[in-house]
Every structure is written in C-alpha cells, then in structure tokens.
Amino acid sequence: MADGSVPDGVTVFANDVPAVTKLNPALLDAVRKAAKDAEEKGIQFVVNSGWRSPEHQERLLRDAISKYGSKKEAARWVATAETSLHVSGDAVDLGPAKATTWLAKHGAEYGLCQIYGNEPWHYELRPKAIRNGCPPQYPDPTKDPRLQR
C-alpha cells in the first residue's frame, strides 16, 4: 500500500491509504465533494488507482508491456514513472461504471474531467471546467503532449 497499490473497495474518503492521501489536495478535495453529492443519489466512488510510487508505476508499465506485447502498444494505457500523472498525484482512476457515468455528466461542475477517450475512469482536475466545461479529450495517452517526454 505504501507504494500506491490499492486494496479492493477503497473509497475516496479513506484516510489511511497513500494512493488516496497522497493525491494533490485540490484534486482530492474536488473528488470528495463530488463523491458526497453522488452518495445522495446512492452512488459510491471507489478508487481503483490514485497516487503511485515511481516503482509501482514501473511495475505497471512492465506488466503492460508483457500484456500488450510492445512498448508502443503499452504506452496507449500506461505512462512511464517520469511522465505519469498518477506518480505526481494529479490523476485518479475511479469506479464503478455507475460512478464514472455520474462523473461524465456532473464532473465538470467540480472541475473534474475525463482526459482520455479510452479511459472513462481516469480523472484529473481542470479548475476552469467549472465555468467553461471540460476541454476536448485526447483519444488516448499517446496523443497527450505531457506524456511525450
């Protein structure tokens, strides 16, 4: 858990799980606010991944390379430790589908935006979204200029 791995069923309100507590405080705040409002509709936000240590990220990347067969294909799903927005604490992967469906509709009100078309669970904070709505999504992480380092 200290490396950012997440046991099953951890909610965004957990205060003893580094994957949650080491998120950027502004992102965590927004996610908890949204989760509180969603809860009133009977929807619970589960954290499938949040902050990750560089070592944990490297392990995920190695796993993805063996799963997808090449570094290039793996890059569509998993970033390197140097570029991952999870390692910097700026991204959270949420579930279940009920929660991400709710977020797709209401997330912008909290500044929470889906960034990649192929990752409906991956959310980052975009404070301007509260006024302007979320920016257009990248089809997948390989199109994200932040990950091209």
Residue nearest to Zn ion (CB): 122
Does a cis peptide bond (omega within 30 degrees of 0) precede residue 25?
A: no
Contact between 124 and Zn ion per CB under 5 A: no
Q: Where are the beta strands (DSSP E) in 71-131?
A: 92-95, 112-114, 122-125
- Residue whose C-alpha is closest to residue 31's, from 49, 5, 53: 49
Closest approach, Cβ 70 to Zn ion, in A, equals 20
Cβ(144)–Cβ(122) below 8 Å = no
Binding residue count for Zn ion, defined by CB under 5 A: 3
User: Least distance to Zn ion from the beta carbon of 45, Å?
Assistant: 14
Q: What phi and psi values does residue 146 have, to the nearest 5 degrees?
A: -65, -20
Cβ distance to Zn ion smaller for residue 75 or 93: 93
Binding-site string for Zn ion from residue 73 to residue 102, where x marks contact by CB under 5 A and - marks none: ------------------x-x---------
User: By CB under 5 A, is residue 122 in contact with Zn ion?
Assistant: yes
